[in-house]
Structure 1
Amino acid sequence: MNIDIKHCLSVVSMALLLGGCSTAPPGPRGSAGFDSATLPSRLSQAQADDITIYALGLVGTPYRYGGNTPDAGFDCSGLIGHVYRSRAGVTPPRTVASLKSWGWQVRSDGIRSGDLVLFARNSVVSHAGIYVGAGRFVHAPSTGGVVRLDDLNSSYWATQQLAFRRP
């Protein structure tokens, strides 16, 4: 009888061990295991909303390479830097390439207004804007242009690789 109990215990133990080994680990939720809705941020929701409203108010400001003020005009990273500094007291990196690793990555289904939108071709980030909700973003697009509001699903932007970052 002792043999049967030992045998049963070893079979149960083995089953538990094998079951534990075959169990898949929980999948990622957002970036670095965070749910996008509760992702850490330097910004409160009120600051993110203020960033959104302020960025929308800059639509029409002239583009200027290297520009980082409303009076002088903006390039894309200059616009982002000005908006975040003036509305949230947060200073993002000055170059688009550096924005790629600033803050936390956010899945597309978890973005909120005030998050950054990064655009890339062949995995090289070349442009950035500020997400303002409803699939739209504010950005300073190119020489001769002005800061404008665009749709992520427009024919041009939909062909770009997208990444979203939350400061």
Structure 2
Amino acid sequence: MKHRTDSLGFNMHEWFRYISILVISALALGGCASHQSLPEGMADVPPSSPTAAAQEPGKAQKLWQVFERYQGTPYRYGGTSSNGFDCSGFILTAYQEGLGKQLPRTTSQMLASGDAIHPGNIQPGDLVFFRIRGKEQHAGIYMGDDRFIHASTSIGVTQSSMNGYYWKGRFTQARRFD
């Protein structure tokens, strides 16, 4: 049986396979948290000018160094080491190793701590939280330029875009731990 091919020489079976791989990859990159909302009481807080990032350039650099050390480390629920991280375990380790700061262990404890930040005022080092399956259960560290680092359930320690397909509609709030 002869397969029909397009102008590039691909047959329909190959196109279907490539499209399927792309769709599955996009879904898999999602990670561990539905609608975008501000934390209670934050709707009336105006964003301030983003000058703290310029005041503390070493903070992001230190966090990037920790990220580079652990990039690709697999996801492991409850994990806090190079054997595997969950999202809050990676944040805990990044803050301890990169900034010498102790943070709460779990995402829910982190949500109850720190200072709420208006979405227009998120700076490198702030924690960003995402809603998955109806509750806030995923977090990462904002690194500037629309990027955050985190431990994804599907690919481990990675960086992602805040406006990426999976994350954009799931962002719920940011918190700062100074």
TM-score w.r.t. the length of structure 2 is 0.64
2:102, 2:95 → 1: CA distance? Answer: 6
> Does structure 2 retain, via aligned residues, the 8 Å contact 1:137–1:150?
yes
Residue in 2 that maps onto 1:141: 152
Residue in 1 that maps onto 2:117: 106
Shift of 1:166: 1.1
Residue in 1 that maps onto 2:175: 165
What is the aligned counterpart of 2:126 among 110, 115, 118? 115
Paired-residue identity, %? 35
Shift of 1:73: 1.1
Deviations 1:101-137 (A, max 9, x none): 2211112221121111111258731100111111111
Task: Rate the CA distance shift 1:46–1:93 in 2: closer, same or farther, 3 A.
Answer: same
Task: Rate the CA distance shift 1:49–1:111 in 2: closer, same or farther, 3 A.
Answer: farther
Residue in 1 that maps onto 2:100: 89
What is the aligned counterpart of 2:165 among 134, 155, 166? 155
Structure 2: which 5+ runs fail to align?
Answer: 1-43
For the aligned residue pairs, the C-alpha RMSD in angstroms reads: 2.5
> Does structure 2 retain, via aligned residues, the 8 Å contact 1:50–1:87?
yes
Shift of 1:29: 4.2
SS in 1 for 2:156: coil
Structure 1: which 5+ runs fail to align?
Answer: 1-26
Alignment of 1:9-158 (within 5 A): 28-30=45-47, 35=48, 37=50, 44-70=56-82, 72-121=83-132, 124-142=135-153, 145-158=155-168
> Does structure 2 retain, via aligned residues, the 8 Å contact 1:52–1:113?
no
2:51, 2:76 → 1: CA distance? Answer: 36
SS in 2 for 1:147: strand
Which has the greater radius of gyration? Answer: 1
SS in 2 for 1:140: strand
1:36, 1:94 → 2: CA distance? Answer: 30
TM-score w.r.t. the length of structure 1 is 0.68
> Does structure 1 retain, via aligned residues, the 8 Å contact 2:87–2:139?
yes
> Greater RCO between the two (CA within 8 Å, min separation 6)?
2
Task: Rate the CA distance shift 1:28–1:151 in 2: closer, same or farther, 3 A.
Answer: closer
